Amino acid sequence: MTATNTAVPAYMARIRHQIRSAEAKADESLLAKLEVLSSILRARQVEDIPAPHIGQDAIVRLGRAIQSDISSANDVFRSHNALNEARVQITGGPGHEVTLTFAEDSEPVQAAA
């Protein structure tokens, strides 16, 4: 493929879709854990809970899980960047600056993927 050819191979469209899906799922996982953490903290503010340290172990463990999710998401985002660099090398096309245009132009290819 050359820089003038804007056709996107089906495997590239498939991988692009999959990496974006992985990024979205990483965000959803983080949001779910944050919601649980928020619920635990709000529950501790209720007067009928006998001590303010109730649930502390769960809070600490969720905090670790959240930290792990952030680190994992960062690796997924770095993978996305590496894949984008590989696509630029293979196709000679533009980089991230035209991601939206690139996605819009490849609707038929996504259907094939």
- Domain locations along the chain: 10-112
Q: Do residues 41 and 59 lie in contact, with contact meaning Cβ atoms separated by under 8 Å?
A: yes
**Predicted confidence (pLDDT) at residue 110 exceeds the cutoff of 80:** no
**Predicted confidence (pLDDT) at residue 93 exceeds the cutoff of 50:** yes
Q: Rounded to two decimals, what is the model's pTM?
A: 0.67
Q: CB-based contacts of 30: which residues, under 8 Å, 6+ apart?
A: 66, 69, 70, 73
Report pLDDT for 5.
53
**Predicted confidence (pLDDT) at residue 63 exceeds the cutoff of 90:** yes
Report pLDDT for 107.
53
Amino acid making up residue 56: Q
C-alpha to C-alpha distance for 106 and 22, rounded to whole angstroms: 20
